[in-house]
């Protein structure tokens, strides 16, 4: 399921009990994990549905400097059906950032993953209304990660492979280093 392209949500499905139940289950699973995003294939449903939310409580351990560096800011719950991402910025290299990223489908592990700094997502909300959201920083990273799931792509397909490891080891080994220092140390 995680390696296949998810099916479009059909117009007849919008507003249905089945879709409402799916969204509710996804939100509960994301919050229980806790995570900041979830795609339907992660719970075994091949549908192009994502939920995202980043709350203050999930950032409590980050310093103001770390939050600023990552562009991490809280945003309310969003449900997006059939999302399409547009990557922003003329020059791919200068328009991206690399940070450690994990996934609820690859528990306990993370790696450095380059992602675009700014994206626009277009799709439908859970009511079927058109939705467009242009965002930067961590919210843009979350969107790219979740839309990747709908395409059958995991962060391990995009990661700098030499940086892949257990979260505890990464924290102990690189916790105080800036990302550039980690990359230099690991030649990544």
Q: Could you report the per-residue pLDDT of 109-141, keeping only the tens digit for each?
A: 999 999 999 999 999 999 999 999 999 999 999
For residue 56, give the DSSP letter.
G
Q: The CATH number of the domain where 91 resides is what? A: 3.90.45.10
Residue 104 in any domain: the answer is: no
Residues acting as catalytic residues:
146
Q: What is the pTM of this model?
A: 0.94
Expressed as residue numbers, the domain containing 79 is 11-97+114-160
Say if residue 89 is exposed, middle or buried (CB neighbours under 10 Å; 0-12, 13-18, 19+): middle
pLDDT by residue (tens digit) across 58-90?
A: 999 999 988 999 999 999 999 999 999 999 987
d(CA 184, CA 186): 6
d(CA 22, CA 64): 35
Residue 24 in any domain: the answer is: yes
Residue 133 in any domain: the answer is: yes
Q: Can you say how many angstroms the Cα of residue 6 is from the centroid of all Cα atoms in its chain?
A: 16
Residue 179 in any domain: the answer is: no
């Amino acid at each position: 399921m995680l390696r296949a392209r998810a099916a479009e949500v059909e117009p007849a499905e919008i507003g249905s009990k089945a879709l409402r139940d799916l969204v509710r289950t996804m939100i509960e699973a994301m919050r229980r994990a806790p995570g900041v995003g979830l795609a339907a294939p992660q719970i075994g449903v091949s549908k192009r549905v994502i939920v995202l939310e980043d709350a203050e409580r999930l950032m409590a351990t980050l310093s103001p400097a770390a939050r600023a560096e990552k562009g991490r800011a809280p945003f309310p719950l969003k449900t997006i059906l059939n999302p399409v991402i547009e990557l922003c910025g003329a020059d791919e290299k200068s328009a991206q950032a690399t940070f450690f990223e994990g996934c609820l489908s690859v528990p306990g592990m993370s790696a450095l993953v380059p992602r675009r700094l700014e994206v626009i997502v277009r799709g439908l909300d859970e009511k079927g209304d058109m939705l467009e959201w242009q965002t930067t920083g961590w919210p843009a990273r979350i969107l790219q990660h979740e839309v990747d799931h709908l395409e059958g792509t995991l962060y391990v397909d995009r990661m700098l492979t030499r940086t892949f490891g257990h979260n505890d080891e990464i924290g102990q080994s690189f916790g105080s280093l800036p990302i550039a220092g980690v990359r230099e140390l690991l030649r990544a």
